[in-house]
Chain A
Amino acid sequence: MLRGAFKELVRYPSALAGLVVIIFLVAVSIYTVITIPYEEAIRLWRGGEEIWGDVPKLAAPAWFNNFTAKKRPLTIKMTSDDEAGVERKQAQVSDALWTDDVVYSFDYPYDDFPQEIAVTLLAQVREKAPYVSLIWVKPDGTEVRLADMAVEGGKRVYRVSQDEKLGRKLKLPENVNPVVGLFAEDPTAAEPVPMKGTYQVRLEGTLFEPEDTLQSKLVVYGTVYGWAGTDHLRRDLGIALLWGTPVALSFGLLAAMGTTVLTMLIAAIGVWYGGWVDALIQRITEVNLVLPVLPILIMIGVFYTRSLWAMLGVIILLSIFGAGIKTNRAIFLQVKAQPYIEAAKAYGASDWRIIFFYMVPRIIPTIIPSLVTLIPSFVFLEASLAVLGLGDPVLPTWGKVIDDARANGALYQGLYYWVLEPSFLLMITGIGFAMLGFSLDRVFNPRLREL
């Protein structure tokens, strides 16, 4: 019978479209779980400065550049150990003086300014901290002395945007990022444009012991990153979007399955035993109808736990006595009156045997469509909880990305990608399952078929 149903199903274009979407989502989930294992995803999402440090903040997806005339910069990252674009000269000047000069050269073909320039200096010394001068060389040969400093304590990070002295030296107006001054053709213009060409950063290091070493890293933070962009904590949104897929699918599927199957069993038990069991089930259903589900979930999230799987359990508990009991009950009442049940009773089949093997199978075709249509509503429920700030504390999910975006004013600041990416995924999940579910409904409920 199921094979026939499948043949019937593929005749509906919307069912096919829904299936394609679902297969795509399942494929993404499998790919994600295999390539980024759970621990790795948690590390990448909840790590810290050492993982996200070299990634720009609030950067749009890199493919934006394919659609705009104005090319936005990618991030440029170089270290003193690199081969390409880095020239390093180490020499001894006297008995107590060594030099370590590094020249970083990079091409800058973009039409917009970078967010930030940062130079990280790492020194391993015995006694006296090494001394470093930073010099910025524009493509036209102009030199700007950025800073002179001692690398105290082994580590020093120099950030151009925080250097107010530099802004004054470049004669920039107030509130203009010094980065603009370093890249602009004419920094005082109303709308400055970056100069294209090869820039250089020259590092002149002075060391005082033969064993002392100096490592450095240059990062020019762009304004686009990866295929999904980044958030306010410099995290790659791609991780959350990818990992959100298996989480959403498993949450929706488990909740829908749990709810539908338990509802059906309860309805079957009520109908079969009748009497006070049935009456009790009916009354519980009526009470359940006036229980405020979302506020109760909020209460549980605040007082006890925010774990996604605990929430799942509570959601199932709160929804098993839902409106589905009434519809299932009506069908079971008809099934119970049929002669084959009478026959089963006559040859002495046990109550459970009759419920599980004679009644339940009859209702499965009608609950499959409602199960599929229920999945998106649970996926959206998870997102709703996340938007209320009650998302799972550990797992990255789509809803949590939307929540972060909303809380950080993404819509006000025009960071539309941040909201649209998770929303798009939620939307196609919802539509995909709904399209399949509606088509299944037509296949299994022939009364709807001609309409």
Chain B
Amino acid sequence: MAEQVGGPAPQGEQRGTGARGAPSTWKRLLRYTLTRLVALFITVVIGVYLTILIANMGGYVDEIRRSQIREQIAVKFQNDPAFRALPPEERQKRIDAEVAVEEKRLGLDKPFLVRSFNYLKHALTLDLGRSENMTSDSGSRQVRLIILERLPATLVLFGTSQIVLFAIALYIALYLSRHYGSWLDRFFVALSPLSSAPGWFYGIFLILIFAAWLKWLPFGGMVSVPPPESPVRYALDVAYHMILPIMALTLSSIFISVYGWRTFFLIFSSEDYVEMARAKGVHPRAIERRYILRPTLPTIITSFALGVIGVWMGAPIFETIFNWPGLGRVLFHAVQLFDTPVIVGSNVIFAYLLALTVFLLDIIYAIVDPRVTVGGGRQS
């Protein structure tokens, strides 16, 4: 995460950055982006390495590699007519010999430290091996395909819900900071403890009310069976299935976000320069936009980013409750089938996705906060 400098910057400085023109901003942004990219890549490497360490303390990654090699060689022998003529014992002996050679070639006989770096390379290049039981919808057993084919479903659901949440929460928070002390304000403050429960928990209630009891909305899934033919109908059907999950995610985080942000806006609206602008007769909307929202945006984005990461982490359970065919449910299925390669692969993909989220938010942060400089503002 980019660091933020304490306290609001004087407004003149912010204006100044804009006036000095785009080139410096872009250069700054580019340098910042590159540095962050390198830093995050190192972070991902460490994260994936930790995953491998945890998985391999029981020798599970070794197991994946060994069975992969054996399978490849067995297939090779089966497809080769020259070997098919051999008696079974002889063939088995040759397979064993070749497996031993291959294991030696891939370094499976080397000490763990060497091997672990080998695995790290495979994981980082998304060479995740073959699954034990699970297959992708296209019938492949490549772990990479199994996982990546579910990625769009997850991105659609969580992307939409986070955008909806951000927009609604920001709007309500601004409204409440304007109408501080109104019944609606007190209502949101009183309901903020509701956010201690995660999204899946509200999901159960919403399914109970809207699917089981009222029968208005589907229990779960992403499209009806059979899926509609025309693309427009298909999109509408997906939207229809997304109502409940989005409601659940929104319910679980909106109250705390609104409460936190509105408090933050209130603190900032009592700053001297805001008072000054008011005295000058600047339009209230302009004050809100330029003097309150602008300096608070970086902090708000940070808190939002932490929320997004939290929601990401909860994907396995959330998607299971709503039967949403995404990444999280792949992991859940893999757990039930004890499919080690898929479990390890999912962890790798999740580490990548989290880093990507952090990276995107860092960029947005750098765009909205002109004070961010690489390495600067750290020891303020």
Q: Complex Cα distance A434/B255, Å?
A: 12
- Beyond A291-B50, A304-B58, whether A298 also contacts B196 by CB under 8 A is no
B197–A430 CB distance below 8 A = yes
Which A residue's beta carbon lies closest to that of B45? A287
Stretch from B186-194, B281-289, B369-377 at the A interface: B186-194
Confirm or deny: A380 has a beta carbon within 8 angstroms of a beta carbon on chain B: yes
A431–B263 CB distance below 8 A = no
B196–A373 CB distance below 8 A = yes
A411–B211 CB distance below 8 A = yes
Which A residue's beta carbon lies closest to that of B59? A303
B200–A387 CB distance below 8 A = yes
Q: Complex Cα distance A388/B355, Å?
A: 24
Q: Complex Cα distance A383/B197, Å?
A: 10
Which B residue's beta carbon lies closest to that of A383? B201
- Beyond A292-B354, A298-B316, A430-B196, whether A390 also contacts B335 by CB under 8 A is yes
Q: Complex Cα distance A406/B203, Å?
A: 12
Which A residue's beta carbon lies closest to that of B181? A451
Confirm or deny: B46 has a beta carbon within 8 angstroms of a beta carbon on chain A: yes
Stretch from B65-73, B94-102, B158-166, B339-347 at the A interface: B339-347
- Cβ of B323 to closest chain A Cβ, rounded Å: 11
Interface residues of B in 272-319 (CB under 8 A from A): 306, 309, 312-317
Stretch from B12-20, B36-44, B85-93, B121-129 at the A interface: B36-44
Chain B residues positioned under 8 Å from A387 (CB to CB): 200, 317, 320-321
Confirm or deny: B64 has a beta carbon within 8 angstroms of a beta carbon on chain A: no
Q: Complex Cα distance A411/B212, Å?
A: 6
| Listed A/B pairs (18) with beta-carbon separation below 8 Å | A18-B193, A289-B1, A290-B40, A294-B317, A295-B347, A298-B343, A299-B55, A303-B340, A383-B201, A384-B317, A387-B200, A388-B335, A411-B211, A414-B212, A433-B196, A434-B195, A451-B180, A451-B267
Confirm or deny: B254 has a beta carbon within 8 angstroms of a beta carbon on chain A: no
Chain A residues positioned under 8 Å from B313 (CB to CB): 292-295
Point out the residue from A287, A323, A420 that lies within 8 Å of B46, measured CB to CB. A287
- Beyond A388-B316, A430-B193, A431-B193, whether A299 also contacts B266 by CB under 8 A is no
B196–A434 CB distance below 8 A = yes
Which B residue's beta carbon lies closest to that of A13? B190
Confirm or deny: A427 has a beta carbon within 8 angstroms of a beta carbon on chain B: yes
**New contact pairs (14) apart from A299-B343, A434-B195, CB-CB < 8 Å:** A286-B39, A290-B47, A293-B313, A294-B315, A298-B316, A299-B54, A373-B196, A384-B317, A387-B321, A388-B332, A406-B204, A430-B193, A430-B196, A451-B266
- Beyond A292-B347, A300-B54, whether A389 also contacts B40 by CB under 8 A is no
Confirm or deny: B83 has a beta carbon within 8 angstroms of a beta carbon on chain A: no
Cβ contacts A6-21/B at 8 Å (1 or 0 each)? 0000000010001000
Q: Complex Cα distance A36/B315, Å?
A: 36
Cβ contacts A371-396/B at 8 Å (1 or 0 each)? 00100110010011001111000000
A416–B208 CB distance below 8 A = yes
Confirm or deny: B240 has a beta carbon within 8 angstroms of a beta carbon on chain A: no
Chain A, interface residues (CB within 8 Å), range: 35 or more
Confirm or deny: B217 has a beta carbon within 8 angstroms of a beta carbon on chain A: no
Cβ contacts A78-98/B at 8 Å (1 or 0 each)? 000000000000000000000
Chain B residues positioned under 8 Å from A447 (CB to CB): 267
Q: Complex Cα distance A269/B245, Å?
A: 43
Instruction: Count residues of chain B with CB under 8 A from any CB of chain A.
Output: 61
Which B residue's beta carbon lies closest to that of A14? B190
Chain A residues positioned under 8 Å from B201 (CB to CB): 380, 383, 423, 426-427
Confirm or deny: A59 has a beta carbon within 8 angstroms of a beta carbon on chain B: no
- Cβ of A384 to closest chain B Cβ, rounded Å: 5
Confirm or deny: B51 has a beta carbon within 8 angstroms of a beta carbon on chain A: yes
B347–A296 CB distance below 8 A = yes
Confirm or deny: A448 has a beta carbon within 8 angstroms of a beta carbon on chain B: yes
Q: Complex Cα distance A433/B197, Å?
A: 11
- Cβ of B191 to closest chain A Cβ, rounded Å: 10
Confirm or deny: B336 has a beta carbon within 8 angstroms of a beta carbon on chain A: yes
Confirm or deny: A158 has a beta carbon within 8 angstroms of a beta carbon on chain B: no
Chain B residues positioned under 8 Å from A299 (CB to CB): 51, 54-55, 343-344, 347
Which A residue's beta carbon lies closest to that of B190? A14
Which A residue's beta carbon lies closest to that of B379? A333
Chain B residues positioned under 8 Å from A25 (CB to CB): none
Chain A residues positioned under 8 Å from B338 (CB to CB): 302
Confirm or deny: A276 has a beta carbon within 8 angstroms of a beta carbon on chain B: no
A-B residue pairs, 9 tightest by C-beta: A434-B193, A292-B350, A430-B196, A376-B196, A434-B196, A290-B354, A294-B313, A431-B193, A290-B355
Chain B residues positioned under 8 Å from A448 (CB to CB): 263
B200–A290 CB distance below 8 A = no
Chain A residues positioned under 8 Å from B351 (CB to CB): 290-292
- Cβ of B218 to closest chain A Cβ, rounded Å: 12
Point out the residue from B44, B211, B212 that lies within 8 Å of A290, measured CB to CB. B44
Chain B residues positioned under 8 Å from A414 (CB to CB): 212
Cβ contacts A297-331/B at 8 Å (1 or 0 each)? 01111111000000000000000000100100010
Which B residue's beta carbon lies closest to that of A314? B54
A426–B212 CB distance below 8 A = no
B197–A426 CB distance below 8 A = yes
Confirm or deny: B117 has a beta carbon within 8 angstroms of a beta carbon on chain A: no
Chain B residues positioned under 8 Å from A402 (CB to CB): 204
Chain A residues positioned under 8 Å from B195 (CB to CB): 434
Confirm or deny: B221 has a beta carbon within 8 angstroms of a beta carbon on chain A: no
Which A residue's beta carbon lies closest to that of B58? A303
Q: Complex Cα distance A416/B212, Å?
A: 9
Chain B residues positioned under 8 Å from A389 (CB to CB): 335-336
Confirm or deny: B358 has a beta carbon within 8 angstroms of a beta carbon on chain A: yes
B43–A287 CB distance below 8 A = yes
Q: Complex Cα distance A435/B192, Å?
A: 8
Chain B residues positioned under 8 Å from A390 (CB to CB): 335
Which A residue's beta carbon lies closest to that of B207? A411
- Beyond A290-B40, A296-B347, A387-B317, whether A303 also contacts B263 by CB under 8 A is no
Chain A residues positioned under 8 Å from B355 (CB to CB): 290
Q: Complex Cα distance A80/B54, Å?
A: 60
Which B residue's beta carbon lies closest to that of A303? B58
Confirm or deny: A419 has a beta carbon within 8 angstroms of a beta carbon on chain B: yes
* Residue of A296, A420, A423 with most partner-chain B CB within 10 A: A296
Which A residue's beta carbon lies closest to that of B40? A290
Chain B residues positioned under 8 Å from A431 (CB to CB): 193-194, 196
Chain B residues positioned under 8 Å from A426 (CB to CB): 197, 201
Chain B residues positioned under 8 Å from A347 (CB to CB): none
B196–A423 CB distance below 8 A = no
B344–A406 CB distance below 8 A = no
- Cβ of A227 to closest chain B Cβ, rounded Å: 21
Confirm or deny: A412 has a beta carbon within 8 angstroms of a beta carbon on chain B: yes
A435–B193 CB distance below 8 A = yes
A289–B309 CB distance below 8 A = yes
Q: Complex Cα distance A438/B338, Å?
A: 41
Which B residue's beta carbon lies closest to that of A302? B335
Q: Complex Cα distance A244/B320, Å?
A: 23
B196–A286 CB distance below 8 A = no
Q: Complex Cα distance A441/B204, Å?
A: 30
Q: Complex Cα distance A302/B211, Å?
A: 32
- Beyond A302-B343, A434-B192, whether A384 also contacts B350 by CB under 8 A is no
Chain B residues positioned under 8 Å from A296 (CB to CB): 51, 54, 347
Which A residue's beta carbon lies closest to that of B211? A411
Q: Complex Cα distance A423/B202, Å?
A: 10
Chain A residues positioned under 8 Å from B190 (CB to CB): 14
Confirm or deny: B219 has a beta carbon within 8 angstroms of a beta carbon on chain A: yes
- Cβ of B50 to closest chain A Cβ, rounded Å: 7
